């Protein structure tokens, strides 16, 4: 079964600094990969996704992620952090083509703090 590991439960950066949130996955087939963001006491909102094609995907709010098959990684980056980026971020993986609709697996989450 597919799985996701997010390295670092807490990441702290200064405003204007690079944001790097790490995600590694395990999958028996070419996966679909996702990053979601969650603000306090809210649901999850899709930031970006990779399905097929270009391995560098751009999402909302200036975030992007690169699918690296050789490293089984899908790290999330943003060149310059804003205070409004403070939230919890979840990486997720699914295996396309399966009949079973229960195929999304989430990482444990990374809480991003942005210091002024």
**Judged by CB under 8 A, which of 54, 70, 99, 116 binds other proteins?**
99
| 44 contacts other proteins (rule: CB under 8 A) | yes
Distance CA 5, CA 8 (A): 9
User: Residue for token digits 């790290």?
Assistant: 75
Q: Provide, rounded to whole angstroms, the least separation between the CB of residue 9 and other proteins.
A: 6
**Judged by CB under 8 A, which of 60, 79, 108, 115 binds other proteins?**
108
**Judged by CB under 8 A, which of 65, 107, 112, 114 binds other proteins?**
107
Q: Of the listed pieces 11-19, 22-30, 67-75, 91-99, which binds other proteins according to CB under 8 A?
A: 91-99
User: CB within 8 A of 102, min separation 6: which ones?
Assistant: none
């Amino acid at each position: 079964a597919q799985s996701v590991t997010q390295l670092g439960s807490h990441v702290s950066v200064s405003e204007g600094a690079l944001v790097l949130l790490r995600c590694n996955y395990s999958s028996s087939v070419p996966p679909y990969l996702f990053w979601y963001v969650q603000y306090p006491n809210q649901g999850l909102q899709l930031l970006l996704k990779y399905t097929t094609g270009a391995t560098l995907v751009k999402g909302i709010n200036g975030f992007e992620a690169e699918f690296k098959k050789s490293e089984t990684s899908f790290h999330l980056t943003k060149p310059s952090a804003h205070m409004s980026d403070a939230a919890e971020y979840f990486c997720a993986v699914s295996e396309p083509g399966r009949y079973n609709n229960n195929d999304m697996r989430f990482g444990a989450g990374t809480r991003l703090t942005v210091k002024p």
